[in-house]
Structures are given as structure tokens and as C-alpha cells.
């Protein structure tokens, strides 16, 4: 068996490592870490390639960047790009003489179409903001208004992709002008052509299109050839931690963002608190977030509670507590359903064929997932061998859930070497579930409930189970493990902690644990337990106290096998009696 009871340190990241390790420092804001791309080598390489001075006609002038379209990120990216650019020309100027317009080189930045900066950004654009316009007020001379393409001519323009995709005409014209390296004036309204001819302007522009994966996928479908010829890079949203130097890099990153937000320095004690919260956000103890929006929100909220000059542990703790309280209304209302027994969850008894599974609910528009304990029940009765998944029969199950149920059935058929039709049928259901469910994270719980029903051995309701299984019974990792554990803990705490309650999770999910202080305190006080298992046999032993297989003593396998043989014998007796009755009936009819 591979059963492991996790201690309090194993269910959270090692924050003491930060506090006590002298190699971890928080004042290393140096070593050339002057812009956001210092932590993004792939993006930096792509920007360097885009900004090369080699001005050949066929070189790529577009870069696709998978990243968030936030104002702060655009400002930080702009600073990084400017560091890669050389000085640009002053641009151009239009000169008006009677009914004629001529184009000349700009002599100063005050000229009407002079370049304003070698890198400009815009998360949202329209046709006038991007290309400028021609204005002719009544009884007044014509006026030309510059757009972003003119103001950044010779440099780089960073644009939000979502806004461009919503305006196909704007995107098409931008692509055409950048690739042809010429800006042609046009009228936004076809019914009102330009009042006079305006000379075209040479255009030397490179474009960085920033968008999420959905926007990039839409562009790829719309422009497959363009997509394949552009420079592509991804802003890495997480930093993998394998050594202490990388923790230093991450801390420097947070200090960098804090300085760009004009906030205070972050103290070392605050980093320990942030580190735990960060691993919960990423869902992995070995990955830390680089998401600028997440860091910005955390630091800004913490700055409101600063009592001295720096952001300390107290400020971060208060910010996190306030955030949790503001967002917790729906979670509290959801838990009330369990606390008032509107949704029934047993955390103290022992019941045959019933188990506490765990799932996660995500409501549209709600910022976090909610862990939901779920009661699964299984009944065995005479039948034709069908495993009746009531959720699937009622069209309340998704495809992945159905796949998990089929894997359960395959395990039972294989494990007991059944070469004939089963003498019984089983029915499995999620009790008090009234909406569609999906996912395979309840397949371990469902298999344990099925084996309990087959062996007629009760399951300890003080334990809840989450995990998926394969056809060989190996337990596989699932998502939302922290929310699931905390959801069951809340119910146990309300009903009264017995010291025997806990949650069984896949061993491979241990690295994803970052539990709340309340749960950790209960583990420290031996009021709650987390068990890590690798096989369904491990979970069954914890749930029933009986090994799944054991040649020397009673086991679940032997109990199930004996019951199946008993059912087969009864079935043969029934068939024999029914056959004799048919013979007698046939003989009477003949006479």
C-alpha cells in the first residue's frame, strides 16, 4: 500500500524557507533588471528580432504576443521596446497652398505630422484614432489630423488585438498599409470622397498585437497565412521554481512592479505571506505567478493597510482578509445549504454504498471556485449486469463524467475476471444534484461506493474522497483540490470535528496544496487529516478498514467474489426451476 498522512507542512508551501534562508534576499533590485522583459527572455528575443535595423521589404513587421491587454502591461512593454529601438526620423509635414497639399520632411516635432515617439500603445482603437482623418469645417480650410500610425512612424505600435478584431475594416487597412510601407489617405464614408488629392506618406512601422489565446485563435482562423508569417511569443504567466535563485528573481519582479506603481518596498516578512497566496493562485507549490494584473491588485490592496513606510506582513494579511470577506457572500450562502441540512452530508456515520465525494462549482461572474461536498450512493440488485449511471440516463452528465463511469465498469469487469454476464445491476447517482455535472474527479469516489455496495461493507462517512482512476485502479490528479478540501472541512467544522475526519486525495496532488490557516490549525491539532493515496485499494482500506486484496485474511475482493458466486448459484437454481416448470407445462399442453 502507498498511504501517506500529510502533516501541516506538507499541505502548504514552505514559507519558513523564505524567512529562515539567508540566501533569500529582497533587496536585489539590480543586475540589469530594468524592464519587464528581463523576466521574459522569449518575449525579449521576439522584440529584438522585430526591432532589428535590417529594413528589407520581406522581413516580418508584425509580432503576435499572447498576453493580457492591460494598461499597466502596455506601459511596461512600451518601456522595454523603447530600450531596443534606435532613434527615429522626425517624420513628415503636410504643407497647404491654395487647393494643393504637398508632403515634406518634418523639421521639428511641432510639425503637423512629426513623429511623437518611437513606441506608442493603445488597448482600444477606432479608425480615426489609428489613421487620423480629413476635416473640412463649413467655410473653413481643410485640416489633416494625425493618427497613431503617423505619430509612431519609424518605430513600433503596440495595439490590443481584441479591439482590432471587432473592426475588420480597420485591421485590413492597417495590415495593407504596414506591409506596403505606404499610408494612403481615404474617406471613412464612401458617400463622401476626399475633397482633394492628398499625397501618400511613406510608412515604416512595426506592429505588436497583444491578445489572449481566444483572440489569437480568431486571428489565426481569419488570417492563417499572416499568422504563420508573423513573429510569435508568449508572456509566461508563471515562473517555475527549482532553486532559491529563482525565488530571488520573483521577489525582484514584485519589487519592480511595486516601484512602477509608485508603491512602498515589500518587506521579507510580507513575501512569506505573498508566497503562500501566490502558490494558491497558480495551484502549484513549484510555480509562482508573473501575472501583472494579479500582482498589481495584491500590492495596491496591501498599500491601503500600510502603517509604516513599507508593505509588511500585516498589510498583506489585512488586504487578503478584506478581499476574501468582500468576495465570500455567495460562498457563505452556499454553505448555509449544508449547515441547515437542505443539502444532506453525513460526516459521522458508516453507510454501505454511500460516500462523500468532492467537486468544484464555478459561477459565471463570480471570481473564485467553491468546493462542494457531494453525496454519492450506489445500490446493487438483481439484473442484467448494467451499471446504471442515473446522471447519464437523465442527460445531466457530460462526456468526461460518462468516460469516468465506463472506466469504473471496466476496472470491475477486469479485476474479477468476469467472462459471463453479471448476475446483478448497479445504480450510481449524485444525490441532490439538479444541474449538469462533468469531469472525472468523482470516479474514485464512485468506484469506492460501487465496491462498498458489492461487498456489503460500510464506508466511513468521516472521510471524503476526490480523484480520478484509470482502468488499472491507479489514482490520478484532479483540479481544485484546495477548494474541495476546504469545502468539506467547513461542513465537518459546523457538524463538529471528531478528530477522525479528513479527505483522501491523489498523491500526485500533494504539490498543489496551499490550504487555509484554519485547516492547517485543525491538522496541527489532530482534528482533521489529509491522506494521499496512489491506488483505489489504498482509498478502500482507509474508507472501510478492510484490505481490498489479502490472501491471509478477509478482504473486499473475497467478499465480492463470494457474493457473486452466491448470486450465480441462485440464478442457476432459478433457471433450473423455471426450466422444469416449462417442461411440465409443455407436457400438459401435449396431452
pLDDT in tens, the chain (591 residues): 689 999 999 999 887 777 676 666 655 454 456 789 999 999 999 999 998 765 556 678 999 999 999 999 999 999 999 988 876 678 899 998 877 889 999 888 888 899 999 999 999 999 999 999 888 777 677 888 999 999 999 999 999 999 999 999 999 999 999 999 999 998 877 777 887 888 999 999 999 999 999 999 999 998 888 888 899 999 999 999 888 888 889 999 999 999 999 998 998 889 989 999 999 999 999 999 999 999 999 999 999 999 888 999 999 999 999 999 999 999 999 999 999 999 999 999 999 999 999 999 998 999 999 999 999 999 988 777 778 888 877 877 788 888 888 888 888 888 876 666 666 788 889 888 877 788 888 899 999 999 999 999 999 999 999 999 999 999 999 999 999 999 999 999 999 999 999 999 999 999 999 999 999 999 999 999 999 999 999 999 999 999 999 888 899 999 988 888 777 676 666 655 555 555 555 566 655
As a whole number of Å, the end-to-end CA separation of the chain is 66
Q: pTM of the prediction?
A: 0.87
582 is catalytic: no
Q: In what order do the strands lie in the sheet with 206-211?
A: 119-122, 156-160, 206-211, 62-66, 231-234
pLDDT at 137: 74
Gap between the Cα atoms of 94 and 217, Å rounded: 40
Alpha helix (H) residue ranges in 88-192: 127-131, 148-151, 161-165, 168-180
For residue range 102-158, what is the model confidence (pLDDT) as tens digits? Answer: 999 988 888 889 999 999 999 999 999 999 988 877 767 788 899 999 999 999 999
Catalytic one of 264, 291, 441, 514: 441
What string of DSSP letters covers 301-327? HHHTT--SSSB-HHHHHHHHHHHHHHH
> Rounded to whole angstroms, how far apart are CA atoms 150 and 114?
7
CA atoms 478, 479, 482, 486: torsion sign: negative
Grid look-up 487647393 returns 99
CB 449 within 8 A of CB 437: no
25 annotated active-site: no
Please give the helix or strand (H or E) that residue 201 lies within, else none: strand 201-202
User: What domains can be seen in the chain, in order of their start residue?
Assistant: 4-34+236-327 (1.10.8.60), 41-234 (3.40.50.300), 340-544 (3.30.230.10)
Query: What's the count of helices (H) and strands (E) in the chain, helices before strands?
Result: 21, 26
Q: Could you tell me if residue 221 is left (phi over 0), alpha (psi between -120 and 50 degrees) or otherwise beta?
A: alpha
Q: Specify whether the CB–CB gap between 503 and 531 falls below 8 A.
A: yes
* Residue where the block lists cell 492597417: 174
Q: Is 185 exposed, middle or buried (CB count within 10 Å of its CB: 0-12, 13-18, 19+)?
A: middle
Q: From CA 19, how far away is CA 274, in angstroms rounded? A: 12
Total residues found in the chain within this entry: 591
Look up residue 432 and give its three cell numbers: 441532490
Active-site hit among 484, 514, 527, 529? 484
Amino acid at each position: 500500500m502507498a498511504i501517506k498522512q500529510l502533516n501541516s507542512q506538507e499541505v502548504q508551501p514552505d514559507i519558513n524557507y523564505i524567512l529562515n534562508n539567508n540566501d533569500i534576499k529582497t533587496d536585489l533590485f539590480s543586475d540589469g533588471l530594468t524592464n519587464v522583459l528581463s523576466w521574459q527572455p522569449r518575449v525579449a528575443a521576439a522584440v529584438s528580432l522585430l526591432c532589428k535595423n535590417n529594413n528589407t521589404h520581406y522581413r516580418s513587421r508584425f509580432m503576435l504576443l499572447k498576453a493580457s491587454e492591460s494598461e499597466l502591461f502596455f506601459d511596461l512593454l512600451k518601456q522595454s521596446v523603447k530600450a531596443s529601438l534606435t532613434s527615429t526620423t522626425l517624420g513628415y509635414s503636410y504643407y497647404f497652398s491654395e487647393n494643393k497639399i504637398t508632403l515634406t520632411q518634418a523639421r521639428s516635432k511641432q510639425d503637423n505630422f512629426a513623429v511623437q515617439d518611437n513606441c506608442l500603445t493603445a488597448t482600444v482603437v477606432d479608425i480615426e484614432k489609428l489613421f487620423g482623418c480629413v476635416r473640412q469645417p463649413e467655410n473653413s480650410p481643410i485640416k489633416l489630423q494625425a493618427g497613431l500610425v503617423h505619430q509612431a512612424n519609424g518605430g513600433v505600435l503596440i495595439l490590443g488585438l481584441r479591439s482590432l478584431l471587432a473592426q475588420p475594416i480597420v485591421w485590413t487597412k492597417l495590415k495593407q498599409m504596414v506591409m506596403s510601407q505606404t499610408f494612403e489617405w481615404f474617406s471613412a464614408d464612401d458617400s463622401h470622397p476626399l475633397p482633394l488629392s492628398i499625397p501618400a506618406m511613406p510608412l515604416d512601422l512595426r506592429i505588436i498585437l497583444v491578445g489572449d489565446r481566444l483572440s489569437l485563435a480568431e486571428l489565426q482562423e481569419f488570417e492563417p497565412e499572416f499568422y504563420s508569417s508573423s513573429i510569435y511569443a508568449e508572456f509566461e504567466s508563471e515562473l517555475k521554481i527549482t532553486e532559491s535563485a529563482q525565488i530571488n528573481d520573483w521577489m525582484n519582479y514584485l519589487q519592480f512592479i511595486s516601484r512602477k506603481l509608485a508603491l512602498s518596498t515589500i518587506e521579507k516578512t510580507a513575501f512569506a505571506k505573498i508566497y503562500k497566496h501566490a502558490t494558491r493562485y497558480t495551484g502549484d507549490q513549484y510555480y509562482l505567478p508573473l501575472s501583472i494584473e494579479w500582482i498589481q491588485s495584491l500590492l495596491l490592496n496591501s498599500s491601503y493597510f500600510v502603517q509604516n513606510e513599507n508593505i509588511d506582513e500585516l498589510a498583506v494579511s489585512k488586504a487578503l482578509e478584506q478581499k476574501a470577506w468582500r468576495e465570500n457572500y455567495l460562498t457563505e450562502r452556499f454553505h448555509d445549504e449544508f449547515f441547515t441540512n437542505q443539502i444532506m452530508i453525513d460526516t459521522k456515520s458508516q453507510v454501505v454504498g454511500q460516500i462523500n465525494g468532492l467537486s468544484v462549482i464555478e459561477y459565471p461572474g463570480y471570481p473564485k471556485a467553491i468546493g462542494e461536498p457531494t453525496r454519492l450512493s450506489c445500490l446493487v440488485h438483481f439484473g442484467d449486469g448494467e451499471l446504471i449511471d442515473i446522471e447519464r440516463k437523465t442527460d445531466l452528465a457530460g462526456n468526461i463524467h460518462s468516460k469516468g463511469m465506463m472506466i469504473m465498469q471496466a476496472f470491475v469487469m477486469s479485476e474479477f475476471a468476469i467472462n459471463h454476464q453479471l448476475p446483478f445491476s448497479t445504480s450510481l447517482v449524485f444525490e441532490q444534484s439538479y444541474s449538469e455535472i462533468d469531469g472525472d474527479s468523482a470516479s474514485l469516489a464512485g468506484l469506492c461506493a460501487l465496491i462498498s455496495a458489492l461487498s456489503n461493507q460500510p464506508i466511513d462517512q468521516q472521510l471524503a474522497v476526490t480523484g480520478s482512476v484509470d482502468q488499472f485502479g491507479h489514482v490520478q490528479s484532479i483540479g481544485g483540490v484546495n477548494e474541495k478540501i476546504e469545502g468539506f472541512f467547513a461542513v465537518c467544522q459546523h457538524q463538529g470535528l471528531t478528530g477522525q475526519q479528513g479527505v483522501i486525495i491523489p498523491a500526485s496532488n500533494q504539490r498543489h496544496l496551499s490550504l487555509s490557516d484554519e485547516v492547517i490549525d485543525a491538522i496541527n491539532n489532530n482534528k482533521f487529516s489529509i491522506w494521499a493515496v496512489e491506488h483505489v485499494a489504498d482509498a478502500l482500506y482507509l474508507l472501510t478498514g478492510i484490505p481490498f486484496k489479502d490472501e491471509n485474511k478477509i478482504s473486499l475482493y473475497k467478499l465480492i467474489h463470494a457474493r457473486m458466486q452466491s448470486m450465480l448459484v441462485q440464478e442457476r437454481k432459478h433457471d433450473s426451476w423455471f426450466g422444469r416448470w416449462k417442461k411440465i407445462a409443455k407436457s400438459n399442453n401435449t396431452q
